Amino acid sequence: MNANQSLLGQLLMLTANLVVNLSGMVGTSVGSRTDVSFDTKTGNFTKYNVGISFFNPNLIAAFTLNDKGDTLTALQDYIVKPLTNTTVSA
């Protein structure tokens, strides 16, 4: 995703248990994102994740709280050779 883009998605699953999912991302050199699911039958949030990302021409780094805040994940993607799009990720 280009650092100058914004993304917003919505999903409704039409079943006996209606689940509403909302996710979005906003930002340029620093971005934030969220992903939330709500079960209308039980009235509970089944999932909520939040994250922050840092973008520059050679590096993308992201930190995300997943599993309702129980798990922290980190991602780093470094472009080693821009001409061939060779990257190193961790």
Give yes or no for residue 2 having a pLDDT over 90: no
Report pLDDT digits (tens) over 60-75. 899 999 988 899 999 9
Average pLDDT of the residues in 13-20: 70
Q: What percent of the chain has pLDDT over 90?
A: 31
Burial of 31 (0-12, 13-18, 19+ CB in 10 A): buried
Q: Which residues contact 60 (CB under 8 A, 6 or more apart)?
A: 53, 54, 75, 76, 77
Give yes or no for residue 59 having a pLDDT over 70: yes
Question: H helices of 1-90, where?
Answer: none
